[in-house]
Amino acid sequence: MDKLCVNGPTQLKGEVHISKAKNAYLPLMAATLLATDKVTFTEVPGLRDIRTMHRLLEHHGVEIKEEGEGVFTYDCQKLKSEEAPYELVKTMRASICVLGPLLARFKKAKVSLPGGCAIGTRPIDLHLKNLEKMGAKIEIEGGYVIATTEGLKGTKLALDFPSVGATENLMMAACLAEGETIIENAALEPEITDLGNFLVKLGAKIEGLDTKTIKIQGVSSLGGTTYSAIGDRIEAATYIIAGLMTKSEMTVKGFDPIHIDAVIEKLAEMEAKMEIGHDYVKVFPSELVGTDIDTAPYPGFPTDVQAQILALSTQAKGLSIITEHIFENRFMHVPELQRMGAGITIKGNSAIVKGGKPLKGAPVMCTDLRASAALVLAGLCAEGVTEVRRIYHLDRGYEKLDKKFAGLSAPVERVQGD
Ligand code: UD1
């Protein structure tokens, strides 16, 4: 298994270009199941989760062609199988977003229940309950959700919690449902608006994007289009934090800083020196102070940046309290950071960080995607070599991480394993 060797402490120099968002592309790709004409995506990042989604779509009968680097066409004229098998779903929970489109277009879907994962139980009750309200018959059998319908019907839906995945599944299902669907308490994440903009380009009738109430008027079919997703706000936040952790002057480019407003606000509170442009953030060497952070649905502080800012707060003066409100088990990086010398105590769903203690390189283990990123960041400012193992988690969501760090003159090396 490959590992990353990070030889710290180091400083980063120059500019890094952010890839397009995997969390936008995964639902966009699921939405190609709705399209009767060809869809082309450009600037698709080379990531393991994207390859998993391609395998899943091909399993369903989507013909995918690579036309050039990061350019793919998707042709969904024929459905081969309505089943999303356990082997694929268990490696990537986002596979659940094929449920809505399969049901809407082909009137049947059989999707493995995703089950638990490292960061918590992550149920899909909101997806299922609301699809039922739209006229789906849902049974759970042998670990699979079996959904059928004689035709989905638009209706008023209200989410108990603004789930990203549930909002996406329901939006896609509603595009081909009869009549109007109103999704109340919809998630506001920028990836939802991106999906909505794409569906509109396919011919969907959607109002209220960027608001908590999304209205969709069903149409009989959707066409095709060419589309590119938004820049990856989580990758961007990760590199910004890397720059601040190493007291570097560097630029992170190719995304919309508005999408990480809550992160920028907290970093400013920590006294980070930054220059914010329309598609970049430049950071400068800063003496940081601790702060309190609570994760929340967008536009709140993203749970996907919690691990990275926790790593940063180990290097900020004073106390920080970081509270995780979205997932129940998302502090798996803490024991690994403690092994590097970080002063962190966990109390319930809060991490209390006594900042300012120098970190020391150590062999550490990745547990999930963002936790893994936090360990790389810690390695950049730790004394000595940090060996980050099980980096297949990083390969799920950070395109060319070692190469991007090499471009910033950081001694991050990928070592091939057995
Ligand atoms: C998406 C992101 C993930 C991010 C998360 C929260 C993708 C591919 N993944 O995941 O990176 O961390 O948003 O910003 O875009 N919940 C229920 N019932 C449901 C659905 C969700 O209880 O039916 C709960 C979950 O257990 C969790 C919370 O709602 O505690 C948030 O989940 P959700 O917004 O659905 O996240 P995902 O779409 O899975």
Other C-beta atoms lying within 10 Å of the C-beta of residue 20 = 24
Q: How far apart are CA 328 and CA 125, in angstroms?
A: 17
Residue to mutate (ligand 1; options 326, 349, 368; most atoms within 8 A of CB): 326
Q: How far apart are CA 3 and CA 11, in angstroms?
A: 21
* Count of CA atoms in the C-beta half-sphere (13 A) of 231: 20
Q: Counting atoms of ligand 1 from 1, which one is nearest the CA of 297?
A: 14
Q: Is the peptide bond before 9 cis (omega within 30 degrees of 0)?
A: yes
Q: Residue 1: its pLDDT value, please?
A: 81
Q: Residue 409: its pLDDT value, please?
A: 97
CA 126 vs. chain centroid, Å, equals 19
pLDDT digit string (tens) for the chain, length 418 residues: 889 999 999 999 999 999 999 999 999 999 999 999 999 999 999 999 999 999 999 999 999 999 999 999 999 998 899 999 999 998 898 999 999 999 999 999 999 998 656 656 678 999 999 999 999 999 999 999 999 999 999 999 999 999 999 999 999 999 999 999 999 999 999 999 999 999 999 999 999 999 999 999 999 999 999 999 999 999 999 999 999 999 999 999 999 999 999 999 999 999 999 999 999 999 999 999 999 999 999 999 999 999 999 999 999 999 999 999 999 889 999 999 999 999 999 999 999 999 999 999 999 998 889 999 999 999 999 999 999 998 989 999 999 999 999 999 999 999 987 5
C-alpha 216 to ligand 1 mean position (Å): 22
Q: Residue 122: its pLDDT value, please?
A: 74
> Pocket residues for ligand 1 (CB within 6 Å)?
23, 26, 93-94, 122-127, 161, 163-166, 191, 303-304, 326-327
Q: Residue 79: its pLDDT value, please?
A: 86
Q: Which two tokens stand for residue 133?
A: 């309200």
Q: Residue 121: its pLDDT value, please?
A: 67
C-alpha 300 to ligand 1 mean position (Å): 14
Residue to mutate (ligand 1; options 28, 163, 259, 324; most atoms within 8 A of CB): 163
- If you write DSSP's letter for every residue of 113-178 in order, what string do you get? ----BTTB----HHHHHHHHHTT-EEEEETTEEEEE-S--B--EEE-SS--HHHHHHHHHHHHTSB
Q: Counting atoms of ligand 1 from 1, which one is nearest the CA of 164?
A: 34
Q: Residue 116: its pLDDT value, please?
A: 56
Which residues are annotated as catalytic?
A: 117
Nearest CA to ligand 1 atom 19: 124
Instruction: Give the chain's radius of gyration (CA, Å).
Output: 21
Q: Residue 211: its pLDDT value, please?
A: 98
Q: Counting atoms of ligand 1 from 1, which one is nearest the CA of 22?
A: 8
Q: Residue 218: its pLDDT value, please?
A: 98
Q: Counting atoms of ligand 1 from 1, which one is nearest the CA of 127?
A: 23
Q: Residue 414: its pLDDT value, please?
A: 94
Residue to mutate (ligand 1; options 121, 122, 127, 301; most atoms within 8 A of CB): 122
pTM for the whole structure:
0.97
C-alpha 51 to ligand 1 mean position (Å): 21
Nearest CA to ligand 1 atom 35: 163
Q: How far apart are CA 382 and CA 409, in angstroms?
A: 16
Q: Residue 114: its pLDDT value, please?
A: 84
